[in-house]
Structure 1
Amino acid sequence: MAHHERLLRIGYVPEHFSTPLYFATAHYGLNAELIAFPSGTGHMVTALRSGDIDIGIGLTEGWVAGLGKVTEAEAGDGGYRLVGTYVETPLCWAISTGAHRPDITTIDSLKGSRIGVSRIGSGSYVMGFVLADSRNWLLPTAASTSGTLAAVPFSDFVVLNTFENLRHAVNENEADFFMWEHFTSKRYYDAGEIRRVGEIYTPWSSWKIVASTALVGGAGEGLDARVEDLMERLNRGIKHFNENPEEAVKYISTELDYSEADAREWLKTVKFSERTQGVSPAVVDRVVEILGKAGVLVEKQGMQPTEMIAVTR
C-alpha cells in the first residue's frame, strides 16, 4: 500500500461527544483507524508529536496551550495545527471533590488547595486557571515587571492521567478537587462516589480538530486530501446526529458510560459544527489571552495565534 494511502489514525476521547465520529464511520464510509484517548487532549498532543496519530479531536484549550508553550528545541514545528471546529457550544466543566470532604463547601474554599489534573497543559489543567481568573485568585506579584500574574492559585497540581484516577484521588485525599465535563461526572454524583462543588463554562467553543504538520502543506499547498475527506464525512455524521436523536441516545446510553436520561439532557445542550472546516482566529485569541493571564503561556514565546491555525474560517 502506498504511503499516501495509509489510513488516517484519528485520536478521540471516548465520551458522548464522539457520537458523530461514530456515525461518520458507521454510516458515511469514514475509513480511518480510531484510537481512543480516555486521558484526553494532553495525551493526544504527545501522540501527534511522536507520530502515533495523524488527527486529534479534542479540547480547544488543550490544543492551544500545547502550541503556545512550544519552544523550537522542544517540539520543532509544534507537531500539529488547528484545522477544524467540531463543537460550537462551550463545555460545562463540573468541579468535584471527594464524597467525604466536609472542609470543601464552596468554590472559594478551593483557593490554595491541590487540584487534580489529567496532564499538565490538558483541559482539566487549563480550566483551573480559568476558574482562578474568574474568582480573581490571580494576583500580580511584586517581582513581575512584565505584569504577568502570580499564576499559582493552587498549592499543587496532582497529575492523575484518567478520570477514574481523579475520582479516586479526591476520595483518598491525594487531591482536593478536579474538573471534568458535567455529564461524564454526573453519574458518579448520582452514585454518591464524588460530590459536586460547582461548575464553570469554557469562555470559548469547546472542541477543535487538529492535523499533524505532516498533513498540512506549506503555503498554497493546502491540506492532505484525506483530511478534507474526513471533514466532509464528519459533517455528514453531525447531520445524522442532528436528525437522529434517538439513535444518538441509544448509542450513548448503551456503548458509553451514560444513562439514557443524561444522554437526552446532554443532547439539549450541545451544538456540533455543521461545517467542521476551519477555525476562527477570535476563538484562539481568547484562549491565548486567558492562558497568558494565567501564566500558562508567556507573551512572545511559543506560537502566535495566527500560526496555530492551518485553515481559517
Structure 2
Amino acid sequence: MTIMVTSIKLGYVPEHFSTPIIFADRLGFFREKSLSVELIPFPSGTGHMIEALSNGTVDVAIGLTEGWLAGLGQGKTHYKVVGTYVQSPLLWAVSAGASSDVKEIGDLKDKANIGISRLGSGSHIMSYVLAKENQWLSHGEPFSFHPVGTFQNLRNAVNDGTCHAFMWEYFTTKKYYDLGEIKQVGQIYTPWPSWLVVARADISKQHETMSNLLSSLDRGDEAVSYISTELDYTKEDAEKWLKTVRFSDKLGDVQDEMLKKTLEVLRDAGVVKEIPKVDALVERIQYE
C-alpha cells in the first residue's frame, strides 16, 4: 500500500517569478489541498536545486528549463519533469562592470572569463547558447567559467575584475543598471518556455500529491504590489515584467516536442552529448 506524501519541501528562486508560489502559500491554497508545504529559497538558482533534489533537501523544485534539461541530458535520474510553470521565454541580460572595457557582446569573444552561479546553472548554460548564436563554438570552449554563487557575488565579480561578464534575468538585473552599479552589454532570449516544475523521482510517482500541488499554484491578484514592495523591484518594472510573462494555464502540461527541441539546442551548444528519450524524463500528472 502506497502512503500519500502530504508534506512537501518546495525549492524556488526568490525572484519575481516566484509570485504564484508565495501567493499559494499566503492565501492557503496548499492547505486547501491538505498539503503542508515548506518553501525553501535558492538564490543561487537551478544548479543548486539539482543538488538539493539529490540529497533530499527539497522534494519539488521550480527552476529554469535549460538547467533541468541539461542535468537530465547529462544522465541525472534523481528527478523528473512534472509540469510547465512559465510558458513565455526568459530574457537574459549580459552584464559587465560599470567601468569595464567590455562594451558589447563581441568584446567577449576569445576566452572571456564568464561569471556563473554554479556549473550546470542557467547562467552557465545560457553562456553556451550565447556563444552558439554568435558562432563561437567552432574552436572548442568559448569561455572560461568562474562559479561564484549568488547574484550579488556575480555583480561584485565583474566590478573587481574577477570576471569579464555574467548573464542573469533582465528584470532582476535592471535595478543595478539604473543604480550604475553594473552595465548592460547585450541580451538574449531563451528559445524555449522558461520555467519547469520537477520532483524527486520517487515523489513524482505520488500522483495525487503532485496533482494537488500543481493545482494549488495560482498567480493571484496582488502581483504588482508584492513584486514592487517585497522583491525590491520598482512598480514600473513590475508592471512591465507582467506584460512579458505568461504563466502556464495548466501546470501539469508538458510538451514533449518543446523538451526535445530544447535538448537539441543544448546538444548543439555542447551542453549535452546525446538526447535521451523524452518520455523517460517526464512523469505525467493529471488534475482538474
Alignment correspondent of 2:67: 62
Aligned partner letter, 1:87: V
CA contact (8 A) 1:29 1:233 kept: yes
Aligned partner letter, 1:229: N
CA contact (8 A) 1:277 1:311 kept: yes
Alignment partner of 2:183: what SS? strand
Alignment correspondent of 2:131: 132
Structure 1: how far apart are the matches of 2:5 and 2:279?
30
Alignment correspondent of 2:117: 118
Note closer, same or farther for the CA distance 1:231–1:6 as it changes in structure 2 (3 Å cut): closer
Aligned partner letter, 1:100: S
Alignment partner of 1:32: what SS? strand
CA distances 1:161-212 after superposition (whole Å, capped 9, x unpaired): 1100000000010000000000000000000000000110000000000011
Structure 2: how far apart are the matches of 1:299 and 1:203?
19
Structure 2: how far apart are the matches of 1:311 and 1:126?
26
Note closer, same or farther for the CA distance 1:290–1:312 as it changes in structure 2 (3 Å cut): farther
CA distances 1:212-270 after superposition (whole Å, capped 9, x unpaired): 101133xxxxx432111011111xx13x3xxx2xx211111111121111111111111
Alignment correspondent of 2:88: 89
Unaligned runs of 5+ in 1: 142-149, 218-222
Displacement of 1:5: 4.3
Alignment correspondent of 1:256: 231
Alignment partner of 1:8: what SS? strand
CA distances 1:30-52 after superposition (whole Å, capped 9, x unpaired): 14100000000000000001111
Alignment correspondent of 2:176: 188
Cα RMSD (Å): 1.7
Alignment correspondent of 2:283: 310
Structure 2: how far apart are the matches of 1:59 and 1:110?
24
Structure 2: how far apart are the matches of 1:194 and 1:80?
36
Displacement of 1:304: 3.2
CA contact (8 A) 1:115 1:158 kept: yes
Alignment correspondent of 1:15: 15
> Are positions 1:43 and 2:16 aligned together?
no
Alignment partner of 2:250: what SS? coil
1:262-277 matches, cutoff 5 A? 262-277=237-252
Alignment correspondent of 2:161: 173
Equivalences, count:
279
Structure 2: how far apart are the matches of 1:16 and 1:171?
25
1:231-310 matches, cutoff 5 A? 231-234=214-217, 237-238=218-219, 240=220, 244=221, 247-299=222-274, 303-310=276-283
* Larger deviation, residues 130-139 vs 289-298: 289-298
Structure 1: how far apart are the matches of 2:172 and 2:128?
21
Aligned partner letter, 2:60: I
Structure 1: how far apart are the matches of 2:12 and 2:114?
24
Q: Percent same amino acid at aligned positions?
A: 48
Structure 2: how far apart are the matches of 1:297 and 1:5?
33
Structure 1: how far apart are the matches of 2:63 and 2:117?
14
CA contact (8 A) 1:118 1:161 kept: yes
CA contact (8 A) 2:67 2:121 kept: yes
Aligned partner letter, 2:272: L
TM-score normalised according to structure 2 size? 0.93
Note closer, same or farther for the CA distance 1:164–1:228 as it changes in structure 2 (3 Å cut): same
CA contact (8 A) 1:132 1:138 kept: yes
Structure 2: how far apart are the matches of 1:3 and 1:58?
27
TM-score normalised according to structure 1 size? 0.85
CA contact (8 A) 1:11 1:37 kept: yes
Note closer, same or farther for the CA distance 1:106–1:312 as it changes in structure 2 (3 Å cut): farther
Structure 1: how far apart are the matches of 2:212 and 2:125?
31
Displacement of 1:4: 4.0
Structure 1: how far apart are the matches of 2:113 and 2:256?
33
Alignment partner of 1:57: what SS? strand
